[in-house]
């Protein structure tokens, strides 16, 4: 299993240089997640009858360069599969958004964190307890490092 920090770092590194995903890129990812096996452009073409073969090929290449698709050569064609699960990508995107928000001044973060705690608390008390335990563990780790 790939450690979560690996795919988060990989997403962050590629996301900075490649930018956000467009609507066609999201549709391609959805189709690939549903298929759960290596697919060539030709394999995917029936799911995108209104999209030119070359446009689909370019989209797959861009997703590969963004770090969310793995590819391998089969004959003369490349075959693609997601390098991240749907949940991993969603988690990486949320973590990146939170990281960007936390880079601002401290005052602008308080409403965001307050909202986050409210949403977590309203959804699931056990999840709120887990969050509190994570915060305590992180504080203890930081204190050990300072000692």
User: Which sequence spans correspond to the domains of the chain?
Assistant: 4-86, 106-146
With residue 140 as reference, give the H or E element that holds it: helix 125-146
Residues 6+ apart with CB under 8 A from 127: 120
Digit-by-digit pLDDT tens for the chain (147 residues) are 455 555 455 555 554 445 688 999 999 999 999 998 999 999 999 999 999 999 999 999 999 999 899 999 999 999 999 999 999 998 888 888 878 777 876 667 778 778 888 888 888 888 888 889 999 999 999 999 887
Take residue 78 and report the two structure tokens written for it: 């490349």
67 φ/ψ angles, rounded to the nearest 5 degrees? 90, 10
Distance CA 84, CA 33 (A): 9
CATH number of the domain at 4-86, out of 1.10.10.10, 3.40.640.10, 1.20.210.10, 1.10.1380.10?
1.10.10.10
Helices 125-146 and 106-123: angle between axes, nearest 10 degrees: 140
């Amino acid at each position: 299993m790939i450690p979560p920090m690996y795919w988060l770092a990989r997403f962050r590194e590629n996301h900075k240089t490649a930018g956000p995903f467009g609507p066609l890129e999201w549709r391609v990812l959805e189709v690939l997640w549903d298929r759960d096996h290596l697919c060539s452009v030709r394999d995917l073409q029936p799911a995108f009858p209104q999209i030119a073969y070359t446009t689909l090929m370019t989209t797959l290449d861009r997703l590969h360069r963004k770090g969310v698709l793995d590819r391998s050569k089969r004959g003369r064609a490349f075959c693609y599969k997601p390098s991240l699960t749907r949940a991993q990508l969603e988690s990486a995107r949320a973590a990146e958004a939170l990281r960007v928000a936390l880079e601002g001044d401290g005052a602008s973060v308080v409403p965001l964190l307050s909202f986050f705690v409210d949403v977590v608390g309203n959804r699931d008390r056990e999840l709120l307890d887990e969050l509190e335990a994570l915060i305590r563990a992180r504080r203890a780790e930081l204190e050990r490092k300072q000692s």
